[in-house]
Amino acid sequence: MLRYCRILLALVPFLFATAAWAKTSASEILMAQRIHIGQGETRDQDLICLGCKVSIDGKMDGDLLLVGGWLEVNGAVTGDVAVFGGTANVGSAAQIGGDVAVFGGRLVRAPGASIAGDVAAPQGSPARTAAGLVAAIALAFFIPLAVAGVLAVALAFALLGERRIGAVAAAMEQHAALALPAGFVASIAMVFLARALHVLTRTSGSLFFCAVLVFIAALVTGYAGLSFLLGRKLSRSAGGLGAMMIGALIIAAIQIVPVLGWLAFCFFADLALGACIVSGFGSSPNWYEQVGRAAPSPPTGAAAG
């Protein structure tokens, strides 16, 4: 099987993990750009491009992965070429030293084009091609968000520590039936608060900014707890941070799946936000019960004479 077939099937949720297939560490990730390698020009670098238009008349010394976009090769590419949800035109003067794989798109190969490796370009109907392009664009948008989410929960773990993140995870496991509606109510409340502050005063901007910061902090903390809980279920031997990263990567992979992943995001977000609230930002798995039991001290009156 083609090397890129294995890569795209196994690592599409992790396109930014280029070390799994790049020949060198000199890889570049670009988005929505027009790239032209002119005649006599050499680009000594692997390239990952999301939604780009790439034309190669000179020489590219490395691998090329294009997600959504358009590629034209009239020069030389020493490595492999993979296109996901886009069009690849390989001209008669093109020389490609590796494999060529096109998924959810179209490959046009002119007579005389030289491809040293294998070629995989299953041709489908226009509707299938369009569906592949939509999926590629969705991946190009959500993969950076997934990566940012993984980094955010790692930062939350570093700032709050394993004890607090563990308390959020415990609250999620013990009080999921309460956390889900609490997270939903908090989300709705945030929407109404945004609208209310928008129409109140000119100073509402700073209040709204503070509210957004608190909301995001609660969401990230909850996601860190959810990742920690999932990672602990899958690997008892992993350390705290390791378990959380395992869970975070799995959650990120689920959420970038079109449609189903977005529904999963709504569920995860409500559960994570609610668990953070129920645990009091990781104060205790039963924090809300402790607050409910806490009663103000009765007023002390003057001693009867």
Instruction: List the chain domain ranges.
Output: 3-123, 141-289
**The pLDDT value given to residue 212:** 82
Of 50-64, 119-133, 186-200, where does mean pLDDT reach its minimum?
119-133
Give the predicted TM-score (pTM) of the model: 0.54
**The pLDDT value given to residue 292:** 61
Q: How far is CA 208 from the centre of its chain?
A: 26
- Tell me how far apart the alpha carbons of residues 238 and 139 are, in angstroms, rounded to a whole number: 29
For 165-220, what is each residue's pLDDT tens digit? 999 999 999 998 999 999 999 988 887 876 776 555 555 567 777 888 888 999 99
pLDDT confidence bin for 7, thresholds 50/70/90? very low
Structure token pair of residue 69:
């976009």
Q: Which residues contact 297 (CB under 8 A, 6 or more apart)?
A: none
Instruction: Of 144, 12, 234, 214, give the one whose Cα is nearest residue 226.
Output: 234
Of 133-142, 156-165, 273-282, where does mean pLDDT reach its minimum?
133-142
**The pLDDT value given to residue 131:** 60
For 189-203, what is each residue's pLDDT tens digit? 887 876 776 555 555
DSSP H or E stretch at residue 161: helix 126-174
- Tell me how far apart the alpha carbons of residues 250 and 118 are, in angstroms, rounded to a whole number: 32
Mean pLDDT score across all residues of the chain:
79
List the alpha helices (DSSP H) in 58-108: none
For 224-236, what is each residue's pLDDT tens digit? 999 999 988 887 7
Q: Provide the β-strand partners of residue 120.
A: 101
**The pLDDT value given to residue 233:** 87
**The pLDDT value given to residue 128:** 59
